[in-house]
Structure 1
């Protein structure tokens, strides 16, 4: 299968641009042996490269490129498949914007192409090339933070000791995981993640219960989360609980039950955030919207969890605006390496900034992910990098510090 891959990178400061000729010569010979066509554009600092060839060969070569220390900030922009090559010969060819004008380079690239000019003008690969030549902005965050300048230090969470044992007649447990603002050294809230009484996953817990009572049980379990918050003494911190959207629709008096349990356990409604996931289809939207209005009227906050992973993220935003959106971990995972993910997150940041909606990036496991997202304007984070969930308690926090 013919694969086309485009990546963007920067020439490492230790690698002089004059060395490019030798690099290109070596790459031409290597690529020819692998039956790969390579087109490289260089503007004195940044590189844009198009690779065409068999999928296995392209993937193997790209892994080598990522490990090549002559490059930094290697970001994949596109990976696609097609019936034929866009460019003539096998190997590598350099178009140097330091030597030729943008117009001349663009004309040279088109002459080098096998596509008719009218096809090239609509071709996605050529649009990437034209944007690079004309210096149109591609998805990139301002590199205010770089991972190699940061380290992490451990600190005990400012809450009570982990609770041993179960509350009477408790059908489930909760593991608490902090949501933090790393540069401020601040915990903004705690998410209560449901677990079975054996410590098992949410999926296993919900599979084990009567499916005819799933919404009723889902709602009732939130009382245990509020009780845990009371026992740990979370003070003025917020606590977030996940709720199936249809629990608010199918269980009579759902909002009243939540408010009663919140107050019973010494919390204020303003301390509680209800997280609804877009993974579940919402029927009876008018009833759901009515329940949301009741929640907001009581002072309870609302978040859309796993935003970008399910059915209705943008649709939900057009109908009501939550206090908070949590970007799904699949989108933020390795975002420092993915141009498409970067473009999507920059759009989400812009949208939420306009609507004054707080953003949380969840599933953060690498310093590189945090640095890119922080530079893109996100301030709140959740993930193993900073704190792992702890059953019936809050574990240690790991704060970033400049080396």
Structure 2
């Protein structure tokens, strides 16, 4: 199957641009044997390359390219399939924007195109190429958040001791996981993650209960989370609890119950954030919106959890604006390698900045993910990289530190 793959990267300072021509010449012969065409553009800092060929050959070559230490920050921008090649099968061509003008480079690229001009003008591959060619004054990369410069420093969480074992007389347990702001070295809140009494996942817990009572039990379990916050002494920190959106609609007096339990366990409503997931379809939106207004009137915060993974998406955001949005882990996973994910997150950052909504990136497991997201303007994070969920307590925190 004919495959087109586009990536961008940055030439390492140890590899002089004058050597690039000889590297491309070697690649030309290698690619020709593999029946792969490579169109490589260079502007002094950045590389953009288009690869065309069979799917197996292109993917194998791209894996080798990612491991090549002569360039860094290799990010896949597009992977597509088509009925015919866009370019002549020439192995590899280099277009150096330091030597030729953008106009002449664009004309040269088009000369090697096999597409009619009217098709090329609306083709995604040529749009990537044109944008790269016409961008003005390329800047040297910002190395502040280069993953190689950072390490992790372990610190005990500033809370009371964890409660050993399972808390008796409860239908479920909770594991607490901090949401942190590494730039400030502080914990902004704790998320209470529901667990079965056997330590099982939320999915297993909810599957095991009477499905006619899901919403009622979902709401009632929040009392256990507030009790745990009181037992370990969270002080002035905030605690976030997950709630199915329809629990607010289908359970009479849901908001009153939450407020009563919050105060019963020595917390202030302003310390509590309700996280509603967009993974559940919301019906009866007027009733849901009414419950949200009631929550806000009591001082309770609101967050949309797993943003980008469910039914509602941006339409939910147009109907009410939460205090916080948590970007789904599937979007941020390996974001340092994915151009489409990076574009989506940049748009979310811009949107939430305009609306003064706080952003949290969840599911962070790699320091490279944190580095990219921090450089994109996100300041709050949650994930195994910083702290793992701890049953009935808070585990150690791992803070990023610049390597000395």
Fold shared by both chains (TM-score > 0.5): yes
For 2:390, the equivalent position in structure 1 comes to: 390
What displacement does 1:144 show?
Answer: 3.2
Deviations 1:303-330 (A, max 9, x none): 0000011111211111100000000011
For 1:73, the equivalent position in structure 2 comes to: 73
What displacement does 1:96 show?
Answer: 1.4
Question: Would the alpha carbon gap of residues 229 and 137 (structure 1) be closer, same or farther in structure 2, given more than 3 Å must change?
Answer: farther
What displacement does 1:28 show?
Answer: 0.9
Distance in 2, matches of 1:136 and 1:102, equals 10
* TM-score for the superposition, normalised by structure 1: 0.98
The secondary structure found in structure 2 opposite 1:6 is strand
Kept in 2: contact 1:275–1:304 (CA 8 A) = yes
The secondary structure found in structure 1 opposite 2:276 is strand
For 2:256, the equivalent position in structure 1 comes to: 256
Kept in 1: contact 2:44–2:97 (CA 8 A) = yes
Stretch of structure 1 that moved more, 348-357 or 160-169 = 160-169
Question: Would the alpha carbon gap of residues 132 and 43 (structure 1) be closer, same or farther in structure 2, given more than 3 Å must change?
Answer: same
For 1:4, the equivalent position in structure 2 comes to: 4
Distance in 1, matches of 2:90 and 2:220, equals 64
Stretch of structure 1 that moved more, 260-269 or 128-137 = 128-137
For 2:180, the equivalent position in structure 1 comes to: 180
Stretch of structure 1 that moved more, 96-105 or 214-223 = 96-105
Q: Within the alignment, does 1:27 sit opposite 2:6 as a pair?
A: no
Question: Would the alpha carbon gap of residues 343 and 143 (structure 1) be closer, same or farther in structure 2, given more than 3 Å must change?
Answer: farther
Distance in 1, matches of 2:141 and 2:348, equals 13
Kept in 2: contact 1:179–1:190 (CA 8 A) = yes
For 1:128, the equivalent position in structure 2 comes to: 128
The secondary structure found in structure 1 opposite 2:183 is helix
The secondary structure found in structure 1 opposite 2:227 is helix
Kept in 2: contact 1:131–1:137 (CA 8 A) = no
Deviations 1:163-184 (A, max 9, x none): 1244442000000000000111
Distance in 2, matches of 1:14 and 1:137, equals 22
For 1:278, the equivalent position in structure 2 comes to: 278
For 2:316, the equivalent position in structure 1 comes to: 316
Distance in 2, matches of 1:268 and 1:167, equals 24
The secondary structure found in structure 2 opposite 1:336 is helix
Deviations 1:204-261 (A, max 9, x none): 0000000010000000000000010000000000000000000000000000000000
Q: Within the alignment, does 1:62 sit opposite 2:76 as a pair?
A: no
For 1:230, the equivalent position in structure 2 comes to: 230
Q: Within the alignment, does 1:299 sit opposite 2:299 as a pair?
A: yes
For 1:366, the equivalent position in structure 2 comes to: 366
For 2:334, the equivalent position in structure 1 comes to: 334
For 2:203, the equivalent position in structure 1 comes to: 203
What displacement does 1:137 show?
Answer: 9.9
Question: Would the alpha carbon gap of residues 143 and 162 (structure 1) be closer, same or farther in structure 2, given more than 3 Å must change?
Answer: same
Distance in 1, matches of 2:218 and 2:360, equals 24
Kept in 2: contact 1:9–1:46 (CA 8 A) = yes
Distance in 1, matches of 2:221 and 2:121, equals 57
CA RMSD of aligned residues (A): 1.4
Distance in 1, matches of 2:207 and 2:33, equals 53
Distance in 1, matches of 2:12 and 2:68, equals 10
Give the ranges of 4+ consecutive aligned residues of structure 1 lying more than 3 Å apart after TM superposition: 140-144, 165-168
Distance in 1, matches of 2:396 and 2:80, equals 43
Kept in 2: contact 1:8–1:49 (CA 8 A) = yes
The secondary structure found in structure 1 opposite 2:200 is coil
The secondary structure found in structure 2 opposite 1:359 is strand
The secondary structure found in structure 1 opposite 2:193 is strand
Q: Structure 2: any 5+ residue segments left out of the alignment?
A: none
Distance in 2, matches of 1:93 and 1:178, equals 50
* TM-score for the superposition, normalised by structure 2: 0.97
What is the count of residue pairs matched by the alignment? Answer: 402
Q: Structure 1: any 5+ residue segments left out of the alignment?
A: none
Q: After superposition, where does 1:137-156 map in structure 2 within 5 Å?
A: 143-156=143-156
For 1:94, the equivalent position in structure 2 comes to: 94
Kept in 2: contact 1:218–1:247 (CA 8 A) = yes
Distance in 2, matches of 1:287 and 1:398, equals 42
